[in-house]
């Protein structure tokens, strides 16, 4: 695995600041990566830095635009495979089910906000890994949700844009008090939904 970080890299790498909500660059679509550049030293260094960013922030996923690199790649955890990390470069997505699965979402680029978001429950995905090898997977449930959250970053879409009703967004402080919410707030089932924040 070419991008498998090292202690030496960590010692000499300063993480770029997170790009957050309100910065117009986050709303712009990112450019594809030239496949023959994936194994280049400069790009591999960025992949390692992306991994350091995910680990530093304790996130489940992180996309290049969040660190100011407006190219089409991200890194995500795969809980179905022991929490392994998967790089997705130039990813493509096909929705396999019109049924929605609902989870609470947060985002490093949208600090202090949580939202209850519905996304298609199953997707087929393809792209390239950190070695430039073509990969394909099918995800459902939470993994599908996480992939779509990170994929959206590459198209300039943040999770608040996916909220069906503004009442489905709450402050992080209020989210911690959800045990006091009415049973049907902000949607039936939301109060007791699994607490698996997509990215935080």
Structure confidence by residue, pLDDT tens digits, 94-139: 999 999 999 999 999 999 999 999 999 999 999 999 999 999 999 9
Q: Which has more confidence, 75 or 83?
A: 75
Structural domains in the chain plus CATH codes: 7-180 (3.90.45.10)
The pLDDT value given to residue 193: 78
| Residue (of 106, 89, 91) closest to 21 by Cα position | 106
171: tokens are 């402050």
* Residue 150 annotated to the active site: yes
- Choose the catalytic residue: 105, 143, 150, 176: 150
* Contact present, 75 and 87 (Cβ < 8 Å): yes
> In sequence order, which ranges of 32-182 are alpha helices (DSSP H)?
41-57, 141-154, 172-175
Instruction: Provide the whole-model pTM.
Output: 0.90
């Amino acid at each position: 695995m070419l991008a498998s970080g090292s202690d030496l890299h960590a010692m000499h790498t300063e993480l770029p600041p997170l790009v957050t909500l309100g910065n117009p660059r986050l709303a712009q679509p990112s450019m594809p990566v030239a496949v023959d550049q994936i194994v280049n030293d400069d790009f591999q260094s960025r992949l390692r830095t992306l991994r350091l960013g995910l680990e530093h922030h304790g996130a489940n996923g992180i996309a290049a635009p969040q660190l100011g690199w407006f190219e089409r790649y991200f890194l995500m955890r795969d809980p179905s495979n022991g929490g392994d990390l998967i790089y997705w470069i130039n990813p493509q997505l096909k929705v396999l089910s019109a049924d929605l699965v609902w989870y609470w979402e947060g985002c490093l680029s949208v600090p202090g906000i949580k939202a209850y978001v519905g996304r298609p429950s199953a997707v087929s995905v393809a792209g390239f890994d950190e070695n430039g090898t073509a990969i394909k997977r099918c995800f459902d449930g939470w993994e599908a949700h996480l992939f779509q959250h990170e994929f959206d970053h590459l198209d300039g879409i943040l999770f608040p844009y996916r909220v069906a009703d503004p009442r489905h967004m709450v402050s992080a402080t209020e989210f911690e008090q959800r045990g006091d919410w009415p049973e049907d707030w902000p949607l039936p089932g939301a109060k007791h939904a699994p607490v698996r924040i997509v990215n935080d």
